[in-house]
Amino acid sequence: MINKNIHSICYGGDYNPEQWTEDVWVQDMELMKEAGVNFVSLAIFSWALLQPDENTFDFTFLDKIMDLLHSNGIYVDLATATASQPPWLSIAYDDVMPVSADGVKMTHGSRQTYCPNSRSWRNAASHLVRTLAARYKNHPALAMWHINNEYGCHTAECYCDNCAVSFRKWLQKRYKSVGIVNEKWGTRFWSQYYYKWDEIYPPRATMGKKNPSHVLDYKRFMSDSLLDCYSMEYEILRQITPELKITTNFLMGIDKLDYFKWAKEIDIISWDSYPDPAPSYNPALNAFDHDLMRGFGNGRPFILMEQAPAQVNWRDINVNKHPGLMRLYSYQAVGRGADGVMFFQWRQSLRGAEKFHSACITHSGDGNSRIFREVRQLGHELKKLNCITGSTRKADIAIVFDYENMWAFEYEDRQSKSVTYRDQILNWYKPLYEMNIPVDIVGTDSNLKGYKILLAPLLYMTKEGYAEKIKRFTADGGEYITTFSSSIVDEWDGVFPGGYPGPLKELLGITIEEFCPLTPDMKTTIALTDIDDTIPETSKARLWYDIIHIVDAEIFAVFSDALGKGYPAITYNYFGKGKAWYIGTETEPDFKKAFLSKICLRQNINSLFSLPEGVELNIREQNGKKYAFILNFSIKNASIDIMQNSYIDLLTGQKIHDRLIIESGNIRILEISS
Ligand code: GLA
Ligand code: ZN
């Protein structure tokens, strides 16, 4: 539960009343109530107005709006306002502005531009947070804290002299001696050997390729530096308001922070979701991000902290959300585990960089718009879903996602730049999504108890302890599926001696002699070694293939042409009670689907309903009840056979008998009593 006073799904959005006069606030309160808003995020970008200079605070506007929201029954997710410092702070202290890798020092004039290792910034931010928390700790509207905003958005890296000093300290803590740094980074290569800590710099611009281990550690260090900024604020808030939940909003697609590590420090995961409304966009991508967010919180409900009511302003072409699409995506969020649906933003700005970003209240300034009507309808519907809050999801399949692995694999030079980590994960996620089989996303150190299948595509890096953990998982009866370019390096991006796939050789029962990346016009073919009724006998493959030698494994498919001809393409190895698969190429989506559905069948994993293409199913469960969110993303109406008649449509209260028609773009939420 987000707060003991809120018993329904949180609904509202970023509210920036400082951009408006007080008569507009009064109108906002009426419109918020009309739309069913019960929660707003406040003061995210208010620092400059709250603090005119280093020694003066002015809470006049915040006091008034907090009181006004409270008297209208609306709770506040109060931001700590540290996302963007006032110009006077950037100017007063030389260490505040960040420096890019090629040495350009930033200037004030945008937002979220500060060096995470600036002492002056941290001092000023903690002063603000302490003052703000002390002032509002007992305010009846305060329901949750929202630290900063989208850490890593805009400034995910800084290369200034301060960061150089902090990086050395970080390295000293991690490695104790320069000798170990030399060993882990392989600095005998290209004459990079260090004799003193002071010789080590951030990986700034240089003429040749940078040291990959150095770059990787710098990414870790930057993620940790921003996490330190977050933790600094968290500690202050925890002390002043021990009972309140604290969040910070994650964003997707930047992938610069190790969110699995961050999530351990966050009470409620929240994130900002901006699926492209263009027809070519696949809703599976957004579904994946929701699953990832739920994974960060070990399955706990999260908050959809921001979504656009209609279009955004920052794509090359800002396609508008057609009627019903915002509602569809809102239910995708709730179905995948969100206990809150929030917008960026409540009222559309008239000035500034985001004036064409959609908002619940459009430039017309009133509630007379298609967008507001859709916001109001959704607000009223969500009020009928109190039973959903706190419910969770169950999955038999998990996919491993690891940031450090991504950072290491995606080094500036690699075997193939056509291979990216996220795509590899998504290529395996999408067939499961299309089959409506629930999936959890887990980190390399997550608990695997209860999963029957674990997929680890492109797990290039094998961290210490991981191989043993996966061997246990498989020996206990699990099925482990991994793919090409896995288990090549250790956590410092050093290749395992003795050949690939490093410490997973025994589990997989194979060795890999060479890898062969393919250009888009090069294809290969795989052929199954045994006839199987459900999987095509031959299938095209692309992107990459490995030259695999069998040690103990069985061959499932072989390459039938090119350099790999006759070599195994897919293998499996019995290990204890389970099986470990290796897929040595990029198979086609149809193949993956057939392959996974066969494994799911054997493991007794299936979808609750059989649904037409483009119809997404999400199940949440609580107190012996299941809640099925059926979302029709397709352009056709969907007809669904319902076998039992004990289903209740939660929005209409009606019982559902035998058949259900869901129009294109529409949704149904069914309560299923078991
Ligand atoms: C991000 C930010 C918001 C706003 C939106 C616009 O998610 O957190 O402040 O800029 O993008 O889409
Ligand atoms: Zn810096």
Which residue in 521, 547, 541 sits closest to 585, CA to CA? 541
CB atoms closer than 10 angstroms to residue 255: 17
CA 538 to chain centre: 35
Please report, as a single letter, which amino acid is at residue 599: I
Q: Ligand 1 centroid to 414 CA: how many Å?
A: 33
Residue nearest to atom 5 of ligand 1 (CA): 344
* Element spanning 445, H or E: none
**Helix %, strand %, coil % of the chain (to 5):** 30, 25, 45
List residues near ligand 1 (CB under 6 A).
Answer: 149-150, 251, 272, 274, 306, 312, 344, 354, 357
Q: Give the integer Cα–Cα distance in Å for 2 and 8.
A: 10
Q: What is the pLDDT of residue 673?
A: 83
Residue 645: pLDDT band (50, 70, 90) is low
3-class secondary-structure state, position 370: helix
Q: Is the peptide bond before 644 cis (omega within 30 degrees of 0)?
A: no
Q: Ligand 1 centroid to 223 CA: how many Å?
A: 20
b/e per residue, 123-138, with b = 16+ CB within 10 A?
Answer: ebbbebbbebbebbee
Please report, as a single letter, which amino acid is at residue 648: I
Phi-psi region of 324 (alpha: psi -120 to 50; beta: other; left: phi over 0): left
Both tokens assigned to 388 = 């959903």
Residue nearest to atom 12 of ligand 1 (CA): 312
pLDDT in tens, 470-523: 999 999 999 999 999 999 999 999 999 999 999 999 999 999 999 999 999 998
Q: Which ligand ends up closest to the CA of 157?
A: 2
pLDDT in tens, 25-48: 999 999 999 999 999 999 999 999
* Element spanning 143, H or E: strand 142-146
Q: What is the pLDDT of residue 166?
A: 98
Residue nearest to atom 4 of ligand 1 (CA): 344
Residue 4: pLDDT band (50, 70, 90) is confident
Q: Ligand 2 centroid to 221 CA: how many Å?
A: 11
Residue 312 Cα: closest atom of ligand 1: 12
pLDDT in tens, 86-140: 999 999 999 999 999 999 999 999 999 999 999 999 999 999 999 999 999 999 9
Q: Give the integer Cα–Cα distance in Å for 566 and 556.
A: 12
Q: Which ligand ends up closest to the CA of 101?
A: 2
Angle value at C-alpha 405, between 446 and 588, nearest 5 degrees: 95
Q: Which ligand ends up closest to the CA of 153?
A: 1
Both tokens assigned to 61 = 């506007």
Q: Which ligand ends up closest to the CA of 306?
A: 1
Catalytic sites, residue numbers: 150, 306
pLDDT in tens, 247-280: 999 998 889 999 999 999 999 999 999 999 999 9
Average pLDDT over the chain reads 96
Q: Ligand 2 centroid to 612 CA: how many Å?
A: 52
Q: Is the pTM of this model over 0.95?
A: yes
Q: Ligand 2 centroid to 479 CA: how many Å?
A: 45
Q: Ligand 1 centroid to 251 CA: how many Å?
A: 9
Residue 272 Cα: closest atom of ligand 1: 7
Residue 314 Cα: closest atom of ligand 1: 12
Out of 15, 150, 252, mutate this one to test ligand 1's pocket (max ligand atoms within 8 Å of CB): namely 150
**Cα four-point dihedral sign 142, 339, 303, 459:** positive
Out of 344, 354, 357, 358, mutate this one to test ligand 1's pocket (max ligand atoms within 8 Å of CB): namely 344
Residue 149 Cα: closest atom of ligand 1: 8
Residue 44 Cα: closest atom of ligand 1: 9
